[in-house]
Amino acid sequence: MRLTLKIWRQQSARGKGRFETYTVDNISPDSSFLEMLDILNNELIHNGEEPVAFDHDCREGICGMCSLHINGEAHGPDTEVTTCQLHMRKFKDGDTITIEPWRSRAFPVVRDLAVDRGAFDKILQAGGFVSVNTGGVPDANAIPIAKTDADESMDAAACIGCGACVATCKNGSAMLFVAARVSSLAKLPQGRIEGARRAKAMVARMDELGFGNCTNTGACQAECPKAISIAHIARLNREFLKAKLRD
């Protein structure tokens, strides 16, 4: 495959970005999108040019680091996959592909296609954990939990924090991310103890960090590589309102 790539290049967070055009040849349809970028970078290095900076780690769809906007879609044209799981067979020979970083005020560009998603870490530090003393580790079946609750908790816990929901949302909202973290704990007895404090603290931190408000367009769910349901946002709203009523 021969492809034309229009890639966002930006030297630093304060630098002025621009699109630059590159051409890559002999790309196998079975290679991943990141492998294609590796081939491009190898050519750039051999030509004495600066390689394109982009985030990646596990390359197995687990870590969520490979956050790219490809032809206007978070993680590209495939569904329920991260960029590292996107294969070049989703494109055609001769295609022009536009590659950008996440576009969100809360995720400033570090360089080229890499962004700083430290805002997610700060939200988690505000309450995405269980801190109370729950005693020793009980047997797996010592605390009865309904299967429906356990399944919902695990579905929410599947969130990898890639930021596709924020980058896709027209408001730059992090509600799906926060809702997944709150919901994964709210459905378990160990997480209920701090439920009220958690919802208030995480929502407040989200607002402080400059994320936008949710207007229920559903774009976040559509682009989420783990198909996290917006039903969790409804649970977050209930948790938050109940906490405010208690106050």
Q: Output the domain CATH number for residue 146.
A: 1.10.1060.10
Q: Is this prediction's pTM over 0.85? A: yes
232 and 125 in a single domain? The answer is yes
The residue among 57, 85, 111 that closes a domain is 111
Residue 139: partners with Cβ closer than 8 Å, 6 or more residues away: none
What band does 189 get if pLDDT is binned at 50, 70 and 90? confident
- Which pLDDT score is estimated for 192? 85
Mean pLDDT value across residues 210-239: 94
206 and 221 in a single domain? The answer is yes
91 and 29 in a single domain? The answer is yes
What's the pLDDT tens digit per position in 82-96? 999 999 999 999 999
Count how many domains the chain has.
2
Q: 12-16, 157-161, 225-229: which range is least confident on average?
A: 12-16
- Which pLDDT score is estimated for 140? 65
43 and 162 in a single domain? The answer is no
The residue among 80, 111, 142 that closes a domain is 111
61 and 125 in a single domain? The answer is no
The residue among 92, 111, 130 that closes a domain is 111
154 and 194 in a single domain? The answer is yes
- Which pLDDT score is estimated for 134? 61
pLDDT at 208 over 70: yes
41 and 156 in a single domain? The answer is no
* Helix, coil or strand: residue 105: coil
Any idea which residue has 């329920």 for tokens? 80
191 and 225 in a single domain? The answer is yes
CB 82 within 8 A of CB 61: yes
238 and 128 in a single domain? The answer is yes
Mean pLDDT value across residues 206-221: 95
pLDDT at 42 over 90: yes
Q: What percentage of the chain exceeds 90 in pLDDT?
A: 84
CA dihedral 170, 104, 167, 237 (to 10 degrees): -70
164 and 143 in a single domain? The answer is yes
Q: What percentage of the chain exceeds 70 in pLDDT?
A: 96
Q: Considering the chain, what is the average pLDDT of its residues? A: 93
CB 82 within 8 A of CB 57: no
Mean pLDDT value across residues 130-140: 71
CA-to-CA distance for 49 and 68, rounded, in angstroms? 22
What band does 77 get if pLDDT is binned at 50, 70 and 90? very high
Q: Output the domain CATH number for residue 8.
A: 3.10.20.30
86 and 157 in a single domain? The answer is no
pLDDT at 7 over 90: yes
Mean pLDDT value across residues 143-164: 93
Domain residues for 134? 117-246
134 and 234 in a single domain? The answer is yes
- Which pLDDT score is estimated for 234? 94
